[in-house]
Amino acid sequence: MSDEYITRVVDAGAGGADLFVLGIFAWALLRFSNVYYGNAQLVLGETIAAVQTKKSMAISRAMAYHPEVQHAIAEMVIEMEAVGAYIYCTAEDWANGVDHCHNWP
């Protein structure tokens, strides 16, 4: 690769990272987290749809009526809401330049 495509040369680890390098990492991490969050939303939706029609030999109605299935899905929904809020707040704080001391630049 020619030198014209190299923007920074830094030491191994985080020792030589400047705001440009950290900005690239923040950009990538926020995008990756949104991709995985979207995948998790899809899986949650598919799970909810599946338990509405899935039956068991032990109960005559759909698995959606089983209390432990309801409990497990409720936990998933709570986790998803928390993750979504965390990603949103992190992206907003980063974009607005909120100072979190040494937790980020």
pLDDT at 15 over 80: no
Most confident of 10-14, 23-27, 70-74, 93-97: 70-74
Query: Cα(45)–Cα(34) distance, rounded to whole angstroms?
Result: 16
Residue 73: half-sphere exposure toward Cβ, Cα within 13 Å:
18
Query: In the chain, which ranges are continuous DSSP H helix?
Result: 19-53, 67-96
pLDDT at 27 over 90: no
Most confident of 4-18, 22-36, 74-88: 74-88
Closest CA to 73 of 64, 82, 86, 60: 64
Residue 50: half-sphere exposure toward Cβ, Cα within 13 Å:
8
Q: What is the pLDDT of residues 51-61, one digit of tens each?
A: 999 998 888 89
* pTM for this predicted structure: 0.75
pLDDT at 105 over 60: no
Q: What is the CA radius of gyration of the chain?
A: 22
